[in-house]
Structure 1
């Protein structure tokens, strides 16, 4: 019995709780009361017990590294889901035309969970509930300055179709001497030995494959057609981690892949998108798959589960089911 308790204690100490876009996403099904990918959201996730916060980066039209989930390669640009003009009559820009120097002209919307309006209203630029005072989309440099002094780490996910984004991130982190603050740099956009059921237009990992200043991870949301190729891909990009969607872990081959990856010394993390329920029961089942970390929209709930702390009634209640489709999976890629 003592040996089992010691094992569980060691497992909890080794497991990493990661806050998806901070304390969770802003869209329907999510429960965060802070706007996703905002500094208040990252600090709340840390307060709730996250070891690491996850964020998305892309280059704005004025060449700044900006934090937002929206990017250029989505079939539908929905930056309007996250920000809305602060002046009546102005137009929410597409990501391609978003100018970071003008970001204070726009407000980050209140998260859907704040008052749970209909999702159709939330998707519109006409959604009038806005955060006061306005919270702008942050730049990566600002997030580093806010998060790194807390002693916690960051997962940086590369987005968009500009191959300069990876080298720019590596150079910025190195210039600020914050390499120890970065948990890993990840991306869906890699091509070599892909073996997956989608094709990526721009390979964002290629420009940093030989740069080992920061650890790298391969993200994927669909099952590989050839699992051994995943290890060839990791070797090619000098990646030390695999980050599949948590929904894939129910597949027998994926369970074997996770076990093999763990055995070979790779870090394994799965992530919950906005269209995946990550309630308490689902998180408990995901822990059994053997992944070393989980990127969740409910980092506070996962922290309590890992530490075996009793949940409140609200935390243990399954998430409500809403017919809302986000572009986390289907529209992350241009399918061919």
Structure 2
């Protein structure tokens, strides 16, 4: 099984190293000092109190790798449209594209049913570039729950979790998704096949759409945001707005709002990815996590006043950060 991790940072590197150790033919597309270190010394994975080393073919040029069975896209979601052309050499006739990105994926309305079936979302796939360049028929959904960090170039520390739910857009248990699930589970990654992966996508997005921008605006960690009465109430209202939209599209939430907030709070003094990006001077994932909720709400005539307000604030915060850079 040939597997390419496109964007082999912390999470992509963790899952790829585990699959390589389990016998998959894994390659990484990465860049900078992290790439150089992995090319020289392999991928060092710090997990469960031990160091594991995986030898992986690492490159910055996908043309060196050729067609793959599976291409995992583990970039920041807003970066994906810009690499559609670069990924083309990895795509053969049967290659599956596994969307390990935050937020709503480009293929969301593929085989969705209803009036919006086959539609694209401008906030996550401007001009339908991914839809045309990858093709929705290649897509397998994957939700990333674990946390990991690059401790040093070529060194990835696993922080917690190993759950990566998978699913076909049409909910089927195809041979390709079953094979991928089996490989990942052999690599000590929990990869259950879901018959409605959109439920999992929304469950994660439900927290990201509020906790991420609120943390970037306040610099609060998850424990503070979920325990402070004002930010907890704001998070709750944003989640209620999003829940109404998602349910219009047939999504089922297996936990209620309070339990979802409490679950985030239990993570503790954790900085969200958006706050980490802001502090590091990197672009923030605003459109895939929040603008898309506004866009989907407008598609079905569902008002999102709190999401709109926070979206306006975080966009201004992003603009000010860019001006100060």
- How does the TM-score come out when normalised to structure 1? 0.27
- From the two aligned structures, give the one with the greater helix fraction: 2
Bigger RCO (CA 8 Å, 6+ sep): 1
TM-score of the superposed pair, with normalisation by structure 2: 0.27
